[in-house]
Structure formats: C-alpha cells, structure tokens
Amino acid sequence: MAIPARKSRKKAIGGARFTGSIRVFPDAIQLPRLGRLRLKEHGYFPLGGKISSATIHEQAGRWFVSICVHEEKEASQPATGDVIGVDLGIKRLATLSDGRTFENPKALRKKITALKRLSRRQSRKAKGSRNRQKAKQRLSRMHARIANVRNDALHQATAQIVARTKPDAERPRVIVLEDLHIAGMLKNRRLSRAIADVGMYEFKRQILYKAEQAGVKVLLASRWEPSSKTCSCCGWINEALALSDRVFVCLECGNVQDRDANAANNLAALAQ
C-alpha cells in the first residue's frame, strides 16, 4: 500500500486549464467552477469566435488567463518591400541594414544591484516565517519586472521590423538573421550575463512567427558567415578584427563604417 504524499497548504498549484462553457465579456471572463472573474485589463480578448479552452497561471503574485479561440483567418499577401539584414548585439539590441537601430534596455544590468539586495534579504529571513514569504514575493516581482521590460523591448523591435500592419510594399520581403549558437555563446563567462540579458533566442522566435503571419520570408545565415569581418563594399575580410573593435576599417577600399551596420549590410546582401 502506497503512502500518500504530504501536500503543503503553502504551495499553490500554479495554474489550471478549463474546458467547457467559457464566456468572455468586455471586462470579465466566466470560467467553469470559478464563475465570473473581473479582468484588470480590458480589450484584449476577442468577443466573437469559438473558445475551446482557458488557462490560468500565477506569476509573482498576479494571476493571468489565456484563451484558445478558433477563427478563420485569410492568408497574408507576400510582402514586396526591401530586403533587411538584422545584426544582433549586446551594446545595441539590433542594427538594421536600412540604418535603423534598436537600443538594448539592459533590464538585468540596471536592476542587478536591487536584485542582489532582495535576494540577500530573503536568505536572511527565518525559513517558514511570514517575513520570508513576503521577501520571496518581493524578489519574484523584481524578476517579473526585469523579464517584462526585456520582453516589451523585444516585441517593440520585432513588430517594427516585420511591420505586419503596413502595406505590402512597405513590409520587407526578406529578413536575414544570423543563426547564432546561443548556447555556445553563453559559455563565455565574461559575456554570458550580458548575452542572456539581450534575449537573442526570443528575438529570433518572435521574428519567425510574426514574419509568417505577415507574409515575410526569413533567411537564416550560417553561424560561420564572417559578416562582421567582411567589407560590405569590396568583400575584403579582416581576419584580425577583434570583438572590442567597434568600427570596421577596410584596408582595400578605405571604407569606414560602424561594425554592426557593416554586418547588417553583409547579411542583407546574402538574400540578393
């Protein structure tokens, strides 16, 4: 006979999935067994369409709900705009071949001192005490805020690059990204925190699904492509270019250009 496992009342289930009769209102949602729940934010859920399921989950003391809606959607027309090369970096989030740049919010770097302080406060509280629980909530809210700042910057950048709401001629027909080996880059102990703070994999994921919805093609360049070391004007390769060199100087044609802008132009040339 198996002994029942002890279940703590202090540990929540974290989330649940509901199916059945689910109704959505402008300011509320009605779920089975829970009834009608008021929504803090309005205007996000579609009022029409067939709802198959709803999922609730808790994060840093706040509860969120997401619904699965089946809708008929027309396929997007293929975009006919210019080719765009995107170079990801640490100093700047992304540099585009058309001259646009997106700054890196550096969410973790700006809050690392406060994060360490809250972590120390939690570790100094007695285990099982109410004060330790409150310190844990403060630490969770800080982690959630850092993640939200990073995700907001990524969504803003990827939305402007894909330009899903613009006409076909203003959307890029091809977006060229580097197929970076992010797991290998994170093994660099001196840059791992800064690389993780950028969210490069999430940037790539958002570009892929948004481009598919907007009729934009995405080309992934090889991770071995020397886009940063190659001159975008004449094709000369500077094998001695170091990571600390932020300006690319061509010794063949005399081209002087920002390192990231030069790499973005080389990526865009791969789709021609």
178 in catalytic set: yes
152 as an active site residue: the answer is no
* Rounded distance between C-alpha atoms, residue 245 and residue 243, angstroms: 5
Does residue 87 carry a catalytic annotation? yes
Q: Which of 178, 179, 202, 252 is catalytic?
A: 178
Q: Which of 87, 98, 168, 179 is catalytic?
A: 87
| Residues with catalytic function | 87, 178, 260
